[in-house]
Amino acid sequence: MKKTLPNIETYNKSHAPLDQKICTLLMQTIDTGLSFTERKIWHAHPVWFINENPIVGYSKIKNGVRLMFWSGVGFDEKDLQPGTGKFKDASILYTSSTQVDTKKLKRWLKKSEKIQWDYKNIYKRKGKLLPLQIFRVTAKAKQTRAPEKKHRIYTISVASVYPYYIAKAEKKGRTKKEVDEIIRWLTGYSQKQFESALKKQTNFETFFADAPRLNPLRSLITGTICGVKLAEIKDPLMREIRYLDKLIDELAKGRPMEKILRSSENVGANGK
């Protein structure tokens, strides 16, 4: 029986250095290029999903690393080669990390969010593959549609909650410096940028929307916060806020910083 690898980082490290470099670059580019996806080892390979529908993945094969888009035939990209024709997949083979054109890859990732075939329900339809109708809002519809009500926390300034983060940490013997380090790790803000956002009374919605680089390893944060499992939070912004809450909670519970700031070296299969 083939051994099941616990996470994508472990999968990457299981290969030779040259292939590992390709896999790591693909993982990092996909993590930053796709919006709010689930990623996991699926059928022994790293795969990213949107609403449980497989979007993109890669696998080590005999002569390199193959990157595959499940609906790639519809992208109209000459570098992506169609599969057998039975499905709508298309792929590209890499034998060196220098062959990975991240600019092209980001373009393909954008297309993958809009062009999808319904693999999720293919078994229910006895092998019949149908296109997903991705909802697109027209300019006219945007003008006439009633505005959606935002959760109250989205409009609250980060500065108003920040003292509570510090108080929670200091009550358990931790420090403001550690709180700041967690926030920088999660969002990519420098200390100066973060302090500027506090001074401007930036709300949570803008704070995360303007984040320089949301850490791709944040998907390794698991567990429950405020009585809700992080994996079950559907709203993307709420998930980001709860990631931060969870990290501060771990800090207050005495977890070492090297464990809180996830990395492929110190995170196990369950993200802990």
Q: Which of left, alpha, beta for 150 (phi over 0: left; psi -120 to 50: alpha)?
A: beta
- Pick from 23, 33, 27: nearest CA to 94: 23
Residue with tokens 């909802």: 135
Mean pLDDT of the chain: 86
Using CA atoms, how far residue 228 sits from 41, 85, 261, in Å, is: 24, 42, 21
| 10-56 per-position pLDDT tens digit | 999 999 999 999 999 999 999 888 866 788 999 999 999 988 899 99
Per-residue pLDDT band at 265 (split at 50, 70, 90)? low
Q: What is the mean pLDDT of residues 235-258?
A: 94
**pLDDT of 4 above 50:** no
Q: CA 217, 221, 225 angle in degrees (round to 5)? A: 150
| 91-120 per-position pLDDT tens digit | 999 999 999 999 999 999 999 988 898 898
Close Cβ partners of 213 (under 8 Å, ≥ 6 residues apart): 32, 187, 188
pLDDT at position 226, please? Answer: 77
**pLDDT of 244 above 50:** yes
Q: Which two tokens stand for residue 254?
A: 């005495």
Domains and CATH numbers, the chain: 8-114 (3.90.1150.200), 154-260 (1.10.8.290)
Per-residue pLDDT band at 123 (split at 50, 70, 90)? confident
Question: What is the value of pTM for the model shown?
Answer: 0.51
- Pick from 227, 220, 272: nearest CA to 40: 220
